[in-house]
Amino acid sequence: MTTADELLGRLAALDREELAKVLAHRPDALHEPWPRRLDVVAARLATAQSVNEAVLGLSLPQVQVVSAVQLCHALGRRPVPVGEVGKLLGTTAETIESFVDELAERALLWRDPDGIRLPELLHKKNFSAEGLGQPVAELLGEIGRSRTARLSQTLGLPEGHKELVHFFRDGDRVREVFGTAPEPTRKLLRDMADGVPEAEGVLSFHTAEGWAFEHGFLFSTYYGSAVMPIEVSLALRGPDHQLPFTPAEPGYAVTHVGAESVEATSSAAALRLLDRVSAVLDRAGVEPFPLLKDGTIGARLVKKVAKDTGGTPAEIELAIDLAAQAGLLLADEPPPPRRGQKAPPPTLAPDPDLARPEPALLYRLLLTTWWEPAPPEYEADVDALVRRLVVRVLARLEPGTAIADVDALTRLAEWHAPMLPIEDFAGYLRDALDTAELLGVVAHGAATATGRALLEETGLVEVTGELVARARTTALFGTDLTAIVPGSPDARLAASLDRVADREAQGTATSWRFSPASVRRAFDQGSTAAELLDELGAIAAGELPQPLVYLVNDVARRHGEAQVHDVASVVVGEPAVLAELAAHRKLAKLGLRAVAPTVLTSTVDASGTLDALRGAGYAPTHHAADGTIVLPARETDAAEPRVVVRDAGPGDRPPDPLDHAERLLAAPSSGPSLLRGQLARAMSDRYAGRLTPKQQQLCWQLEAGIPAEIVYQADGGPARLVIAYPELDGDVLDVWSVGDRAYRRLELTRIDLS
């Protein structure tokens, strides 16, 4: 009987609540397409990948109980009595019971009236982690019959494999024979029994080692080493030997930081993240980010963006990474270069078809992208597992309660998931904790409402909406040409101030400073003085100070004092201004030459001339050849986006284990599998016994589990469907509809294989 067959019988005997617990602990069993029947669930749970994923989520005592059961199983105790496991771990059977129940809820073992049984995938042959070798039954199977006969004779046993195994599993008899060994042999065997069950350079013709090999206390391996059987190691360790067992969590101290303080910090982090992502998208929209050969953004560019936006490199890296993973930024591969030219690097720029989500929705998109990243193909996503582990451990505490000691948190997290394949557990945890704080999922070492909502998979819309609603929408304008936002500005306020002023500081409050250059920047984008003053007045907590009004009007008066036209290029302006320009030392590189009292020619193109004039303190405007003003590209000038981000609908949410348990128990436990060629034969009747090669290929494709596109003649008209995983039920084809994310029953006579 295979593991899947045995598991099917166990699952079928469960009630709705018991099956729901298994499905909740093993969520991969409910991956789309949903399992039709329990035999599909059993087949999924019986795979090595599924078992490995389940083991990664076990706590330290659960792992220790499994190891003890595996050891007892290897020693021939099948099924394994719970009392034997308790004895091996130095505790009572009652203590072990709860851990066995937890493991049974994960379908990693099951209980019978006479003991515990393990699925075949958890049968263990290597016990090096426990400092033990191989079972004697396996070692005896690797030696010849003559060697077995000599060993039986040496030990005074009837000849036979069974008698030898029985002898070595009797610790008292093994210790009795051990007492007759020479002292050098006993010392060698004691050293190996204490945790070195396999050793190099131990040769059977040496005096001390020779006795051990002759009496079966050591066996030679194919690669020249000597190995001690598990039974011998345990016997020499003594009848009171116990395996490590740590049922209680490591101790830790908690700090009460206050729920209000935690949520305030979480809100500030959320708004800061939104500000960084918006700044990254705006900047990449104007000038796409070049990518390095490894597909990342260069550190120099990250530092520059951080400096320009008032953020830190860690914040900008996170903003770019999440925006790219969420599809807000797309990589664009440049066309192949012409012969002799160097290929430009690929770039990262905003998706032109995607509308920028409103702040709360954008925050949820970033959170879920971090919480549920696209999994790697062939290995566990360790980063995702650690971040979930950190939030889960902290969320067990009361709101506003933190574990401030990161080392204590590391020990606690490692106790909860000791099987994660990580060498530097502390490093991974610190990285996860730092990122969680940048996202507002953790604050001051405590889980926030956002973190709890991610963990519980409910209430995220309400929590994120409340956080974003705390953002400031007005600024305090000072007579010293500054604007201050106490707290966190919302995205629109920050964008308005960034357009016309430069950020100076950020923390509990964010400040901006206005200057002629920053105000001119807004005019270069096409604003007028009236529009700019109206916009600033709308975000001011009071009246705009007169110095700021004067600055805006003065820059407006000077804006356009010189005009750069697209020719190659021409500078147009008042004679006095142009005479000043022509004599300016900093502009000598432009090669300015007067061809009329109001016209200068430049040897540099319009873009270079504009940059040089602005660098020298002037406020030129850019004009096309026909005299019209050229404005820089702005986000509002782009084509109307065609794709809108929305919150997950009911079908996108995680499946409910209770609902699926009820459905699965109501369905037959197993069903017939589709045989090769069966679908083609059934469909041939639909086409009068003749299928085209393409139609045959579609049938074979479906039988192989590869989705295929068909046309279904439904009552409301033809519908194009992508289907997979077909099963025949008379004249009906039961299929998984990829678009509907549900099973559909299609009449064969209505299916067109296009």
pLDDT single digits (tens) 400-417: 999 989 999 999 999 999
* 373 lies in the same domain as 318: yes
* 704 lies in the same domain as 567: no
Residue 652, pLDDT above cutoff 50: yes
Cα-Cα-Cα-Cα dihedral sign, residues 684, 687, 688, 692: negative
Rounded to the nearest 10 degrees, the angle between the axes of helix 145-155 and helix 207-214 is 100
- Which pLDDT score, from 0 to 100, does residue 646 have? 63
- Average pLDDT (231-254) is 94
Lowest-confidence region among 47-51, 432-436, 544-548, 674-678: 674-678
* Cβ neighbours of 668 (radius 10 Å): 10
Nearest to 268 by CA among 487, 543, 540: 487
In a domain, 64, yes or no: no
In a domain, 218, yes or no: yes
In a domain, 427, yes or no: yes
Asked which of 176, 207, 237 is the last residue of a domain, the reply is 237
Amino acid at 122: L
Going from the C-alpha of 649 to that of each of 385, 523, 653, the distances in angstroms are 25, 43, 7
- Which pLDDT score, from 0 to 100, does residue 542 have? 81
Q: How confident is the model at residue 85 (pLDDT cuts 50, 70, 90)?
A: very high
* 138 lies in the same domain as 229: yes
Q: Identify which has the larger pLDDT, 517 or 335.
A: 517
In a domain, 118, yes or no: no
* 230 lies in the same domain as 311: no
Lowest-confidence region among 309-318, 356-365, 422-431, 569-578: 569-578
Distance CA 620, CA 599 (A): 14
* 494 lies in the same domain as 453: no
Average pLDDT over all residues of the chain: 86
Lowest-confidence region among 278-292, 314-328, 429-443: 278-292
* 683 lies in the same domain as 728: yes
- Average pLDDT (343-351) is 86
Element (H, E) at 409: helix 406-416
* 228 lies in the same domain as 280: no
609: Cβ–Cβ under 8 A, 6 or more apart, which residues? 564, 569, 571, 590, 602, 620
Amino acid at 667: A
Asked which of 437, 469, 501 is the last residue of a domain, the reply is 469
pTM of the model: 0.78
Q: How confident is the model at residue 621 (pLDDT cuts 50, 70, 90)?
A: confident
| 243 Cα distance to chain centroid | 35
Q: What is the DSSP letter of 643?
A: B
Residue 565, pLDDT above cutoff 60: no
Pairing of strands 599-601, 593-596: antiparallel
CATH number at residue 734: 2.30.30
In a domain, 71, yes or no: no
β-pair partners for 728: 733
Q: How confident is the model at residue 608 (pLDDT cuts 50, 70, 90)?
A: confident
* 456 lies in the same domain as 510: no
- Average pLDDT (732-748) is 89
- Average pLDDT (686-692) is 76
Share of the chain above pLDDT 70, in %: 90
Q: Is 533 helix (H, G, I), strand (E, B) or coil?
A: helix
In a domain, 66, yes or no: no
- Which pLDDT score, from 0 to 100, does residue 571 have? 56
Per-residue pLDDT tens over the stretch 111-166: 888 899 998 888 887 788 888 989 999 999 888 889 999 999 999 999 989 999 99
- Which pLDDT score, from 0 to 100, does residue 651 have? 46
Largest Cα span, the chain: 122
- Which pLDDT score, from 0 to 100, does residue 363 have? 92
* CA triple 81-83-89, angle to 5 deg: 115
358: Cβ–Cβ under 8 A, 6 or more apart, which residues? none
Cα-Cα-Cα-Cα dihedral sign, residues 682, 687, 689, 690: negative
* 224 lies in the same domain as 287: no
Torsion of the alpha carbons at 530, 536, 540 and 544, rounded to the nearest 10 = -50
- Which pLDDT score, from 0 to 100, does residue 741 have? 87
Asked which of 592, 618, 644 is the last residue of a domain, the reply is 618
- Domain that residue 701 falls in: 674-752
* 331 lies in the same domain as 415: yes
In a domain, 49, yes or no: no
- Which pLDDT score, from 0 to 100, does residue 1 have? 67
Residue 574, pLDDT above cutoff 80: no
- Which pLDDT score, from 0 to 100, does residue 638 have? 45
Distance CA 435, CA 267 (A): 15
* 705 lies in the same domain as 745: yes
Distance CA 460, CA 466 (A): 10
Q: How many structural domains does the chain have?
A: 5
* 233 lies in the same domain as 265: no
Amino acid at 594: A
Cα atoms found within 13 Å of the Cα of residue 506, Cβ hemisphere only = 19
In a domain, 694, yes or no: yes
Q: How confident is the model at residue 221 (pLDDT cuts 50, 70, 90)?
A: confident
